[in-house]
């Protein structure tokens, strides 16, 4: 945590998240798979004098460190930023295999409560599955947020494996019921863009939970009422490049913008390509009323 002096209420909530992370890190630690605690720990960048904040959500099989470069850019622009740790992340794939998207929503809700204790103008943003969760928050709790930013939300996957994950989980459940553990395939190989952050095994159940989350988001998109920025990579090999436009077109609200980033990998919030994403985000937020931080803490 860096930044200004925090109230006792915020410190208490932050301490609770750290205690939870440390307990789950110890419980699910797997040599060779679990990353260092600095990768998985949630963090708050508290900006002095600013009442504008961003709830910044990482993706599936990743950790809060995945969005650290984005968080630093937002902080440099004057925002307080909190990056929550989604349940089952920052520990091991075994932990993630037992989680549902409702657990991730609980993690995000706790993150919102932390920011609501130190800011009154909150934006919700995320990358990949984190973008799906950000959209879910904006649809479900429009009164909480001034805007939503979705980067590479997985509304439509590429590849045959995405279609097989449902039947595979059904077979896993049947095998478990019949006590035929040797016939279960609980994990698939993952080849991440950021191997120093992401799990190298994807729980089949976790992948199906992402699909269930995005079905819920798709149903609710016509009712999304707050300003929305939708960003999508044009050559994303994991999420269909059509996904961003699908989301954008389904939003009926008028305060929306679609930005396409030319890049050949899924991960577009780190490295040189991230600069283009961050610039698009900052430009969009700067044009909205009551979202841009000001040196005196007043909305623009």
Q: How would CATH label the architecture of 2-159+212-286?
A: 3-Layer(aba) Sandwich (3.40)
Average pLDDT over residues 28-35: 97
HEC per residue, the chain: CEECCCCHHHHHHHHHHHHHHHHHHHHHCCCCCCCCHHHHCCEEEECCCCCEEEEEECCCCCCHHHHHHHHHHHHHCCCEEEECCCCCCCCCHHHHCCCCHHHHHHHHHHHHHHHHCCCCEEEEEEECHHHHHHHHHHHHCCCCCCEEEEECCCCCECCCHHHHHHHHHHHHHHHHHCCCHHHCCCEEECCCCCCCCCCCEEEHHHHHHHHHHHHHHHHHHHHCCCCEEEEEECCCCCECCHHHHHHHHHCCCCCEEEEEECCCCCCCCCHHHHHHHHHHHHHHHHCCCCCCCCCCCCCC
CA atoms within 13 Å, Cβ hemisphere of 102: 1
- Cα(61)–Cα(47) distance, rounded to whole angstroms? 28
Q: Using the CB atoms, write b or e for 230-242: b if 16+ within 10 Å.
A: bbbbeebebbbbe
Tokens for 146, please give them. 């001034």
Task: Encode pLDDT of 130-139 as tens digits.
Answer: 999 999 999 9
Query: Would you state the pLDDT for residue 298?
Result: 40
In this prediction, residues 88-111 reach a mean pLDDT of 98
Contacts (Cβ under 8 Å, ≥6 apart) of 180: none
How does residue 84 score in pLDDT terms, banded at 50, 70 and 90? very high
Average pLDDT over residues 224-237: 97
Instruction: List the Cα angle 94/97/100 in 5-degree steps.
Output: 140
Inter-residue contact 288 to 147 (CB < 8 Å): yes
| Cβ–Cβ < 8 Å for 85, 21 | yes
Mean pLDDT of the chain: 91
Write down the pTM of the prediction: 0.91
The reported pLDDT for the residue numbered 105 is 98
Could you give the percent of the chain with pLDDT greater than 70? 87
| Res 10 pLDDT > 70 | yes
In the predicted model, is pLDDT for residue 239 greater than 70? Answer: yes
d(CA 54, CA 78): 10
Higher pLDDT, 172 or 66: 66
Model confidence at 300, pLDDT cuts 50, 70, 90, reads very low
What residue segments make up the domains of the chain, in order of their start?
A: 2-159+212-286
- Cβ pair 153, 131 in contact under 8 A: yes
**Percent of the chain having pLDDT more than 90?**
79
Cβ within 8 Å of residue 230, ≥6 positions away = 150, 153, 244, 247, 248, 251, 256, 257, 258, 259
> Residue 7 pLDDT more than 50?
yes
Q: Between these two residues, 50 and 279, which has the higher pLDDT value?
A: 279
Please indicate whether residue 221 or residue 174 has the higher confidence score (pLDDT): 221
C-alpha R_g of the chain: 19
pLDDT at residue 2, rounded to an integer: 57
What is the pLDDT, as a whole number, of residue 39? 98
Q: CA 234 to CA 265: how far, in whole Å?
A: 9
Each residue's pLDDT tens digit, 163-209: 556 565 566 566 565 566 666 677 888 889 999 999 999 999 999 99
State the pLDDT confidence band at 97, using cuts at 50, 70 and 90.
Answer: very high
């Amino acid at each position: 945590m860096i930044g200004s002096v925090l109230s006792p209420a915020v410190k208490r909530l932050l301490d609770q998240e750290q205690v939870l992370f440390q307990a789950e890190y110890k419980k699910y630690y797997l040599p060779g798979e679990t990353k260092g605690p600095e990768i998985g720990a949630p963090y708050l960048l508290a900006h002095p004098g600013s009442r504008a904040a961003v709830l910044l959500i990482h993706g599936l099989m990743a950790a809060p460190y995945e969005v650290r470069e984005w968080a630093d850019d937002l902080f440099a622009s004057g925002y307080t930023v909190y990056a929550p740790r989604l349940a089952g992340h920052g520990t091991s794939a075994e932990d993630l295999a037992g989680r549902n998207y409702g657990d991730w929503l609980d993690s995000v809700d706790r993150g919102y409560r932390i920011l609501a204790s130190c800011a009154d103008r909150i934006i919700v943003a995320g990358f990949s599955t984190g973008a799906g969760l950000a959209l879910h928050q904006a649809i479900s709790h429009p009164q909480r947020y001034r805007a939503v930013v979705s980067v590479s939300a997985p509304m439509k996957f590429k590849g045959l494996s995405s279609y097989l994950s449902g039947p595979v989980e059904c077979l896993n459940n049947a095998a478990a019921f019949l006590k035929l553990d040797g016939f279960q395939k609980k994990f698939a190989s993952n080849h991440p863009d950021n191997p120093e952050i992401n799990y190298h095994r994807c729980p089949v159940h976790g992948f199906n939970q992402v699909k269930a989350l995005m079905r819920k988001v798709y149903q609710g998109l016509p009712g999304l009422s707050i300003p929305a920025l939708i960003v999508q990579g044009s050559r994303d090999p994991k999420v269909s490049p059509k996904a961003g436009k699908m989301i954008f077109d389904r939003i009926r609200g008028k305060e929306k913008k679609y930005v396409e980033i030319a890049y050949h990998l899924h991960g577009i919030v780190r490295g040189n390509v991230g600069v283009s994403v961050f610039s698009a985000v900052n430009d969009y937020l700067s044009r909205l009323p009551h979202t841009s931080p000001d040196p005196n803490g007043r909305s623009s």
